[in-house]
């Protein structure tokens, strides 16, 4: 049954590569290919969910190097992240087909789009640090062509900024992973953390490595001060912004932080090392900073981007506070903010395409002209703020420990 | 025939066949490419046989039945087989590319095929010789054919670059020969295996090693002896640049590796290895910075070679450390083969871009006048491997290097390598950003609307080499198994 894991990966990799070869004018073929792949993938993920709920174990190991394995597995967190990404991929593909109907280079766009989702699925399913690293870097590479898709000087320079941040983060993360592997052997994710029992390693060393890992992941999770690529990359087409912000990139960072704290270091051990408090402080600062900046943005997508900066840090904060309820809250938030934020970005894309509105100050009376879009926008925005019944009870449980969440996020 | 092809005689065939090819392609004035292509393909088959037959034990072949010290011995272990294999593979793909690159019947085409066969003869000789003087002969053939290949590019710059390359190569060979002479007058043998048994760590051995390695460093273009490389590699025709960067530099590097770790092991000190390591680090940084500043595409790729050569030498201190020597050797091998494929692909892709756009000025290149996506994918994948990002061969090599460095606490080395990766990303994406850029170029370009069509063969050959570099990222375990089978590196 473990063949399901590679199949899930291939279900976005193969259509992605095939899309590159589809001639530009064959729009129907391309759309069928992409939607078909998204549907296949969603059904495979459903099969995986069913399998796991029946107690089936999924694991694939391939030797990558002597002593280093490429490891895929499915645990509860993988399932959460992969369900979210495959569902949102399906929706975003639908949206993007319409959004880009008259754009150029669509085969290139959808090809890299699928590679992005491939990398995200790989991140969700990776069972050790090196596998995570491989897909994490692949995600950086696959999103770059989407950020610079328009090819204008503006988007090229945004792409440069995006790469400068994410590749720098990737380097820090690589340094952390290699270092940890060199001193402690290959690190597999386990629910209790693998480093907890290792008394042979000096705490200072582990703190240093923790810093490298979190700083590396923090770039993608847009922790202040590593966040400024996110508003800059708003020049990308709306479906890309939606994907970058709601599903793939920022969530990969947040997901990685949870993996490191829980599955590598172990939650009690991280607390004992004293590394979670700085992380919580960084997350709290990011939440405040992102929300405040969002209030001052007139560009709609930029405002949403700052909102993402702040929202994603709730996940990091939930992780850092490190209680079981806070964790569930953080992870549920990952799903929740994914759904809401993607809606907001779709709406922003609609406003831009239909009415040419890109700024908040132009939005007077827009509800009358595009009632459905603005209805969706309102629902998502309320959900983002945390008004019941949008947020489920676990999430509200966390909010008791996180007083900052009352800050409005635009 | 089958016996001739499998046993140790395989070694003799690997050298004589390309030589015959060179002669045949000179003889057939207008159809010179056919014997050359036949040789390249057969050579690929023989290389596979060699890799397979060195798995159980190293091969040894005494030419004419005369054993050392009287006769000349050919010798192949898994390391030589690996080098022969990668040479054959890259050589075959580059030959395919060259079919579309040189206009049939042109004077450069007629010169290219015999010279390339001669270059292949020299490369195979260097990888298989077990004799110091035979190696010298191989080095001279290598330099002369490589220099002649550079001159196939018309233009004053190419001729100047070739002349400088010639002088540097001769200087290097001379240094090497001096070292050989020292050893010969002391031990009266040129056989490497015999020398390994009798040499110690005296002043003479150290002087000989220093001379030979210095000569080879000059040819391998390790910083600060790289000054001749950018012009020679950037000025040569694209397939020649690919061969020089991917293979020729590796041959001299291979000899350094042999002398240092097999023949004159006792004279090779940790201090020397450390010095080479530091120079390697300097090369990584300097080459990358120069690539960042380069104005032209091929210059950028050539400086990237200077940087990548640095990684090979940066590993020397780790190779000398028994705790991580095995992983470091794996890393060296992986750097060599991944770079051979990636850099070959990159030069071939750069050649396509030059043909399509009509120029290589980075500031004026735009998406509109680039060749098709096949070339651009080749460029991108090769670039990613050079940066050392997953899932490519370059990543595996870098991972092994970092892991070994951190295991022995060589933080400085790990730091330089990580920084080198970032710099490489910066220069590679300078080129890749162009592929998306639709803005009008700064200078008014009358040629911007028209682009020359590049043949499918040239585009696919570049992509195939890049895909090999990509595949190396997945196949590290089996590839390293081939290499580790029976390596003698004591």
User: Which of residues B223 and B285 earns the better pLDDT score?
Assistant: B285
Looking at residue A323, its pLDDT comes to: 64
Measured CA to CA, the distance from residue A337 to residue B437 in angstroms comes to: 33
B114 vs A242 pLDDT, higher one: B114
Chosen from A23, A151, A157 to mutate, greatest number of chain B CBs within 10 A: A151
pLDDT at B143 (0 to 100): 94
> Cβ of A20 and B373 within 8 Å?
yes
- pLDDT > 50? residue A399: no
Please tell me the predicted confidence (pLDDT) of residue B428.
94
Tell me the percentage of chain B whose pLDDT exceeds 90. 59
pLDDT value of position B122: 95
Cβ contact (<8 Å) for B433 and A182? no
CB contact under 8 A, A141 and B429: no
- Residue pair B366/B116 in contact (Cβ under 8 Å)? The answer is no
For residues A283 and A311, give the distance between their C-alpha atoms in angstroms, rounded to a whole number.
Answer: 10
Mutate to test the interface with B, among A6, A150, A174, A187 (most CBs of B within 10 A): A174
More confident residue, A406 or B324: B324
- Give the residue, A357 or A129, on which the prediction is more confident: A129
State residue A395's pLDDT score: 43
Please indicate whether, in this complex, the C-beta atoms of A134 and B422 are within 8 angstroms of each other. Answer: no
Inter-chain touch A182–B476, beta carbons under 8 Å? no
For residues B255-267, give the mean pLDDT: 89
β-pairing, B73-76 with A68-73?
A: unpaired
DSSP assignment, residue B453?
P
Q: How far apart are CA A65 and CA B241, in angstroms?
A: 32
Mean pLDDT over each residue of chain A, to the nearest integer: 80
A406, pLDDT greater than 60: no
Give the pLDDT band of residue A324 (cuts 50, 70, 90).
low
Averaged pLDDT of chain B: 89
- ipTM for the assembly: 0.89
| Residue B227 CA to its chain's centroid (Å) | 17
Residue B405's alpha-carbon distances to A266, B283, B408, B422, in angstroms, are 27, 18, 6, 18
In this prediction, residues B157-178 reach a mean pLDDT of 92
Per the model's pLDDT, the better-predicted residue between B302 and A323 turns out to be: B302
- pLDDT, tens digit, for every residue of A169-205? 999 999 999 999 888 888 888 877 777 777 777 888 8
CA distance, residue A152 to nearest chain B CA (Å)? 6
User: Two tokens at A176?
Assistant: 């952390």
- The string of pLDDT tens digits covering residues A256-280 is 988 888 888 888 888 888 888 888 8
Nearest to A168 among B391, B396, B422 (CB): B422
Instruction: Please tell me the distance in Å from A53's CA to the nearest CA on chain B.
Output: 32
The residue length of chain A stands at: 410
**Banded pLDDT at A132 (limits 50, 70, 90):** very high
A65 in Cβ contact with B480 (< 8 Å) = yes
What is the structure's pLDDT at A322?
Answer: 61
- Contacts of residue A317, Cβ cutoff 8 Å, sequence gap at least 6: A280, A283, A284, A287, A326, A330, A402, A404
Task: Sort out which chain B residues have CB atoms less than 8 A from A144's CB and list them.
Answer: 429, 432
Instruction: Assess whether pLDDT exceeds 90 at residue A362.
Output: no
Spatial separation of the C-alpha atoms in residues B25 and A196, rounded to whole Å: 68
Does residue A394 register a pLDDT over 50? no
- Show the tokens assigned to B176: 């090497």
Q: What is the mean pLDDT of residues B115-128?
A: 95
Token pair recorded at residue B68:
């050392």
Which of A66, A156, A183 is facing B437, going by the closest CB pair?
Answer: A156
Q: Which residues contact B193 (CB under 8 A, 6 or more apart)?
A: B68, B73, B75, B130
Angle at B360 between CA B358 and CA B363, to 5 degrees: 115
In this structure, of A162-171, B335-344, B366-375, the range with the lowest mean pLDDT score is: B366-375
Report yes or no: B403 at the A interface, CB cutoff 8 Å: yes
Residues in chain B within 8 Å Cβ distance of A20: 373, 377
| Cβ neighbours of A163 in B, within 8 Å | 425, 429
Chain A nearest-CA distance from B447, in A, is 20
pLDDT grade, residue A327 (50/70/90)?
Answer: low
Determine how many CB atoms are found less than 10 A away from the CB of residue A200. 7
State the average pLDDT over residues B449-474.
88
Chain A residues touching B437 at Cβ < 8 A? 151, 153, 156
CA B202 – CA B196 distance, rounded (Å)? 13
The alpha-carbon gap from B251 to the nearest alpha carbon of chain A, in Å, equals: 26
Quote the crossing angle between the two packed helices B476-484 and B78-101, to the nearest 10°.
130
Q: Name the burial class of residue B224, with classes exposed (0-12), middle (13-18) and buried (19+) by CB atoms within 10 angstroms of its CB.
A: exposed
Average pLDDT over residues A326-350: 73
pLDDT recorded at residue A367: 72
pLDDT tens digits, one per residue of B168-202:
999 999 999 999 999 999 988 888 888 888 888 88
Predicted confidence (pLDDT) at residue A284 exceeds the cutoff of 50: yes
Residues of B in contact with A155 (CB under 8 A): 436
Q: What share of chain A is helix, strand, coil (3-state, %, to 5)?
A: 75, 5, 20
Is B425 in contact with A163 (Cβ distance < 8 A)?
Answer: yes
Asked if residue A380 has pLDDT above 80, the reply is: no
| pLDDT greater than 90 at residue A28 | no
Yes or no, beta carbons of A174 and B418 under 8 Å apart: yes
Q: What distance in Å separates the CA atoms of residue A251 and residue A259, rounded to the nearest whole number?
A: 12
Name the minimum distance, in Å, from the CA of B280 to any CA of chain A. 20
Tell me the chain A residues in contact with residue B436 when contact means C-beta distances shorter than 8 Å: 145, 148-149, 151, 155-156, 159
- According to the per-residue pLDDT averaged within each range, which of A2-11, A87-96, A214-223, B395-404 is highest? B395-404
Please give the pLDDT value at position B121: 95
Please report where in the chains the tokens 């993920």 appear, as a residue: A45
Provide CB contacts within 8 A for A75, sequence distance 6+: A189, A191
Stretch among B52-66, B102-116, B233-247, B399-413 having the lowest mean pLDDT: B52-66
Q: Do B418 and A137 touch (CB under 8 A)?
A: no
Instruction: Kindly tell me if the per-residue pLDDT of B163 is higher than 50.
Output: yes
Mean pLDDT computed over A195-223: 85
Spatial separation of the C-alpha atoms in residues B308 and A212, rounded to whole Å:
26
B438 in contact with A at a CB cutoff of 8 Å?
Answer: yes
CB B438 within 8 A of CB B366: yes
- Helical spans, DSSP H, in A259-370: 267-273, 276-295, 300-321, 324-355, 366-369
pLDDT for position B196: 87
- Are A394 and A324 spatial neighbours (Cβ–Cβ below 8 Å)? no
Is B425 within 8 Å of chain A by CB? yes
Residue B28 tokens, joined: 């057939």
Torsions phi, psi of A61, nearest 5?
Answer: -120, 130
Which residue would you say has higher pLDDT here, B276 or A299?
B276
Q: Is the pLDDT of residue B488 over 60?
A: no
Region of poorest pLDDT, from A301-315, B51-65, B248-262: A301-315
Could you say which of A151, A160, A182 has the minimum Cβ distance to residue B407? A182
The number of CA neighbours under 13 Å toward the Cβ of B233 is 33
Instruction: Please give, rounded to a whole number of angstroms, the shortest distance from the CA of A156 to a CA of chain B.
Output: 7
Which pLDDT value is given to residue A409? 35
* Calpha distance A116→A106 (Å, rounded): 15
């Amino acid at each position: 049954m473990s063949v399901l894991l590679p199949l899930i990966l291939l279900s976005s990799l193969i259509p992605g590569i095939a899309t590159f070869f589809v001639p530009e004018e064959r729009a129907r073929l391309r759309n069928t290919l992409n939607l078909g792949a998204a549907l296949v993938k969603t059904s495979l993920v459903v099969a995986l969910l069913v399998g796991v709920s029946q107690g089936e174990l999924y694991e694939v190991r391939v030797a990558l190097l002597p002593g280093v394995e490429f490891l895929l597995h499915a645990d509860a967190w993988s399932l959460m992240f992969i369900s979210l990404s495959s569902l949102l991929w399906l929706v975003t593909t639908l949206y993007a087909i319409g959004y880009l109907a008259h754009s150029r280079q669509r085969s290139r766009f959808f090809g890299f789009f699928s590679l992005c989702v491939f990398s995200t699925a790989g991140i969700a399913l990776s069972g050790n640090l090196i596998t995570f690293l491989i897909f994490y870097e692949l995600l950086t590479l696959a999103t770059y062509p989407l950020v610079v898709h328009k090819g204008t000087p503006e988007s090229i320079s945004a792409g440069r900024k995006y790469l400068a941040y994410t590749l720098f983060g990737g380097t820090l993360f690589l340094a952390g992973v290699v270092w940890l592997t060199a001193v402690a052997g290959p690190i597999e994710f386990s629910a209790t953390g693998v480093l907890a029992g290792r008394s042979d390693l000096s705490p200072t060393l582990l703190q240093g490595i923790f810093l490298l890992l979190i700083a590396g992941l923090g770039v993608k999770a847009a922790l202040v001060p590593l966040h400024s690529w996110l508003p800059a990359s708003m020049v990308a087409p709306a479906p890309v912004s939606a994907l970058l912000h709601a599903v793939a990139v920022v969530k990969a960072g947040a997901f990685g932080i949870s993996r490191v704290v829980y599955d590598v270091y172990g939650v009690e051990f991280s607390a004992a090392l004293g590394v979670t408090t700085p992380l919580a402080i960084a997350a709290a600062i990011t939440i405040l900073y992102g929300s405040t900046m969002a209030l001052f943005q007139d560009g709609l997508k930029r405002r949403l981007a700052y909102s993402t900066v702040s929202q994603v840090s709730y996940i990091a904060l939930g992780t850092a506070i490190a209680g079981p309820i806070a964790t569930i809250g953080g992870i549920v938030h990952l799903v929740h903010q994914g759904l809401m934020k993607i809606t907001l970005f779709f709406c922003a894309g609609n406003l831009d395409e239909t009415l040419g509105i890109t700024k908040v100050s132009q939005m007077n009376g827009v509800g009358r002209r595009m009632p459905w879009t603005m209805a969706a926008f309102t629902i998502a925005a309320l959900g983002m703020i945390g008004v019941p019944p949008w947020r489920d009870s676990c999430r509200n449980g966390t909010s008791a420990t996180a007083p900052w969440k009352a800050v409005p996020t635009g | 025939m089958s016996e001739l092809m499998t046993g140790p005689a395989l070694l003799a065939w690997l050298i004589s066949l390309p030589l015959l090819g060179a002669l045949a392609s000179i003889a057939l004035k207008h159809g010179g490419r056919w014997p050359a292509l036949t040789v390249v393909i057969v050579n690929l088959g023989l290389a596979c046989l060699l890799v397979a037959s060195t798995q159980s034990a190293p091969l040894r072949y005494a030419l004419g039945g005369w054993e050392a010290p009287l006769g000349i011995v050919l010798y192949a272990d898994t390391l030589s087989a690996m080098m022969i294999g990668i040479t054959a593979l890259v050589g075959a793909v580059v030959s395919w590319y060259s079919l579309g690159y040189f206009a049939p019947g042109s004077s450069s085409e007629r010169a290219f095929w015999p010279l390339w066969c001669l270059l292949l003869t020299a490369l195979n000789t260097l990888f298989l010789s077990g004799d110091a003087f035979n190696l010298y002969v191989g080095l001279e053939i290598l330099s002369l054919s490589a220099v002649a290949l550079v001159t196939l590019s018309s233009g004053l710059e190419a001729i100047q670059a070739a002349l400088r390359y010639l002088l540097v190569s001769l200087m290097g060979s001379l240094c090497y020969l001096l070292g050989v002479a020292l050893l010969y007058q002391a031990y009266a043998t040129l056989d490497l295996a015999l020398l390994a048994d009798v040499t110690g760590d005296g002043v003479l051995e150290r002087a000989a090693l220093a001379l030979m390695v210095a000569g080879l460093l000059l040819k391998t273009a390790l910083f600060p002896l790289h000054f001749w490389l950018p012009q020679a590699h950037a000025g040569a025709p694209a397939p020649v640049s690919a061969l020089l960067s991917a293979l020729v530099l590796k041959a001299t590097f291979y000899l350094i590796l042999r002398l240092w770790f097999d023949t004159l092991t006792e004279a090779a000190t940790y201090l020397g290895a450390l010095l080479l390591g530091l120079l390697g680090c300097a090369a990584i940084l300097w080459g990358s910075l120069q690539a960042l500043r380069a104005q032209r595409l091929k210059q950028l790729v050539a400086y990237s070679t200077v940087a990548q050569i640095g990684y090979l030498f940066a590993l020397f201190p780790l190779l000398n450390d028994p705790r991580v020597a095995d992983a470091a050797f794996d890393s060296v091998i992986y750097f060599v083969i991944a770079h051979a494929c990636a850099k070959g692909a990159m030069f071939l892709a750069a050649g396509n871009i030059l043909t399509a756009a009509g120029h290589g000025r980075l500031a004026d290149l735009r998406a509109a006048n680039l060749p098709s996506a096949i070339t651009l994918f080749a460029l991108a994948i090769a670039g990613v491997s050079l940066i050392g990002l997953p899932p490519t061969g370059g990543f595996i090599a870098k991972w092994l290097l970092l892991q070994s460095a951190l295991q022995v606490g060589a933080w400085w080395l790990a730091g330089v390598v990580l920084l080198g990766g970032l710099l490489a990303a910066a220069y590679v994406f300078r080129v890749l950003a162009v592929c998306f850029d639709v803005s009008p170029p700064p200078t008014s370009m009358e040629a911007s609307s028209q682009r020359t069509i590049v043949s499918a063969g040239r585009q696919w050959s570049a992509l195939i080499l890049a895909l090999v570099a990509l595949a190396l990222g997945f196949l590290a375990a089996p590839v390293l198994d081939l290499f580790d089978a029976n390596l003698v590196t004591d």
